Homo-oligomer: A and B are copies of this chain.
Amino acid sequence: MNSLTIDTSTNKYNVFVGTKLRFKTASFLEKQYKNILIVTDDQVANHYLDDVKNSFSTEINLYSVVVPAGESSKSQEQYFNVISRAIEVGLDRQSLIIALGGGMVGDLAGFAASTYMRGIDYIQVPTSILAHDSSVGGKVAINHTEGKNLIGSFYPPQAVIYDVETLHSLPEKEVRSGYAEIVKHGLISDEIFFHQVLDTKLSSKIPDEVLTDHLLKGINVKATIVQNDEKENNVRKYLNFGHTLGHALEANLGYGQITHGEAVAIGMLFALRVSEKVYGVKLPYQPLHNWLVTNNYPLHLPTQEIDPLVNRMKKDKKSINNLVQMVLLKSVGQPTVEKIEDELLKSELDEFMRELVNH
A319 lies within 8 A of B152 (CB) = no
Contact B151 A116 (CB under 8 A): yes
Closest Cβ of chain B to A91, distance in Å, is: 10
Q: Using Cβ atoms and an 8 Å threshold, which residues of chain B touch A115?
A: 111, 115, 151-153
A residues contacting the other copy or chain, number (CB 8 A) = 39
With A80-B76, A116-B151, A153-B115 as given contacts, are A87 and B317 in contact (CB-CB < 8 Å)? no
A147 contact set on B, CB distance < 8 A: 87
Known: A34-B321, A118-B139, A118-B141. A150 touches B83 (CB 8 A): yes
Tell whether A93 is near chain B: CB-to-CB under 8 Å: yes
Number of copies: 2
Determine the chain B residues whose CB is within 8 A of the CB of A317 once the complex forms: 92-93, 117-118
* Given contacts A80-B76, A87-B315, A154 and B119 within 8 Å (CB-CB): yes
- CB neighbours (8 Å) of A87 from chain B are 144, 146-147, 150, 315
Interfacial residues of chain A within 85-138, with CB under 8 A of chain B in the complex: 87-88, 90, 92-94, 111, 114-119
Inter-chain CA distance A318–B152, complex, in Å, is: 24
**With known contacts A80-B76, A144-B84, A315-B87, A321–B118 Cβ distance under 8 A:** no
- CB of A356 within 8 A of chain B? no
List residues of chain A with CB under 8 Å of any chain B CB.
Answer: 34, 76, 80, 83-84, 87-88, 90, 92-94, 111, 114-119, 139, 141, 144, 146-147, 149-154, 231-232, 314-315, 317-322
Can you report 15 residue pairs joining A to B where beta carbons are below 8 Å apart? Answer: A83-B144, A83-B151, A84-B144, A87-B144, A87-B146, A90-B315, A92-B320, A94-B321, A115-B151, A115-B153, A116-B150, A117-B150, A117-B317, A118-B317, A119-B153
